[in-house]
Amino acid sequence: QVSLQESGPGLVKPSETLSLICTVSGQSITSYHYWGWIRQAPGKGLEWIGNVYQTGATYYNQSLGYRLTMSLDTSKNQFSLNLHSVTAADTGVYYCARVVWMWEPPNFYYMDVWGKGTTVTVSS
């Protein structure tokens, strides 16, 4: 049974860096799955942040990419998100998720296991 758990500070000051960790249990992060971050502003819909692959390759939402860093820590079976120069618009619930992307037919892509989410508030 795979489970994901987000952790990090609940309060970040404007212009600082938001750092979150997702700890994966029940599966090695170096297996064939990929890993993603998604966020949700208060009362709003879901916004994809980015994916990190087992090779360490990353794909970011273009609207956030210049502020983003995502990486894997295989020794701790974790992956992380760093969002720089945050503003109040970055306030919300941040989810990590396991991404299934089949390179061979049928080439499915979906997020099948999600963490419970962690709330981050950007405020001075």
Which spans of this chain sit near other proteins (rule: CB under 8 A)?
A: 36, 38, 45-48, 51, 59, 61-62, 95, 100-102, 106-112, 114-117
- Measured on CA atoms in the order 118, 119, 122, 124, is the torsion positive or negative? negative
Query: For residues 16 and 93, which CB has a smaller minimum distance to other proteins in the complex?
Result: 93
CB of 52 to other proteins, least distance (A): 12
Q: How far is the CB of 89 from other proteins (least distance, A)?
A: 17
Residue 107 class from Cβ within 10 Å (0-12 exposed, 13-18 middle, 19+ buried)? exposed
Considering the complex, state which of residue 60 and residue 80 has its C-beta at the smaller distance from other proteins.
60
Rg (CA), the chain: 14
Closest distance of CB 105 from other proteins, Å: 8
Nearer to other proteins, 66 or 108 (CB): 108
Query: What are the Cα distances from residue 80, in Å, to 74, 95, 105, 108?
Result: 11, 11, 30, 24
**34 contacts 101 by C-beta, under 8 angstroms:** yes
Residue 58 beta carbon to other proteins: minimum distance, rounded to whole angstroms: 10
Measured from the CB atom, the residue of 75 and 109 that comes closer to other proteins is 109
Nearest to 59 by CA among 35, 40, 76: 35
